[in-house]
């Protein structure tokens, strides 16, 4: 039996080169299948791809995603900005929940506004 293909940043980036622009997006399940050639342990593969996408973004690659279109490389600044807004909104939603649960104003959550008076 052949060893399973390890999903790496290079493999994800290589496959995404065929998916430039939102109209050419690919959903995570299909992306995993294209890279590995199989659907075994699909949940594990999908989590690995999401982790790799984060790595690629941290390296500065313009990997975009929307729930409806899937993953793709930004074709232009508008597509990149749309993904950045989505990520910002998701982060702010999480931070707002933390601030409410701790009963702390959002700006005070990490001490941003503790200025000498």
Q: What average pLDDT score do residues 52-68 get?
A: 95
When mean pLDDT is compared across 26-30, 81-85, 109-113, the lowest value belongs to 109-113
What's the confidence (pLDDT) of residue 45? 87
**What is the rounded CA–CA span in Å between residue 39 and residue 109?**
42
Q: Give the gyration radius of the chain's Cα atoms.
A: 18
Q: Is residue 4 part of a domain?
A: no
Band of residue 107 on the pLDDT scale cut at 50, 70, 90: confident
Q: What's the distance, Cα to Cα, between the start and end of the chain in Å?
A: 69
The number of distinct structural domains making up the chain is 1
Q: Is residue 115 part of a domain?
A: no
Supply the CATH number for residue 87's domain. Answer: 1.10.10.10
Give residue-wise pLDDT tens across range 86-100: 999 999 999 999 999
Q: Is residue 87 part of a domain?
A: yes
What's the confidence (pLDDT) of residue 1? 44
Q: Is residue 56 part of a domain?
A: yes
Count the residues in the chain: 117
What's the confidence (pLDDT) of residue 5? 77
φ and ψ at 31, to 5 degrees? -60, -45
Which residue from 65, 5, 66 is spatially nearest to 40, judged by alpha carbons? 5
């Amino acid at each position: 039996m052949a060893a399973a293909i390890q999903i790496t940043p290079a493999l994800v980036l290589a496959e995404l080169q065929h998916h430039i622009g939102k109209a050419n997006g690919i959903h995570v399940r299909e992306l995993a299948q294209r890279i590995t050639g199989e659907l075994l342990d699909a949940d594990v593969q999908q989590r690995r791809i999401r982790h790799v996408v984060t790595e690629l973004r941290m390296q500065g690659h313009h990997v975009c995603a929307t729930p409806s279109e899937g993953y793709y490389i930004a074709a232009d600044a508008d597509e990149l900005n749309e993904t950045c807004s989505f990520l910002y909104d998701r982060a702010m939603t999480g931070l707002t929940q933390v601030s409410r649960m701790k009963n702390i104003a959002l700006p005070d959550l990490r001490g941003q506004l503790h200025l000498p008076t």
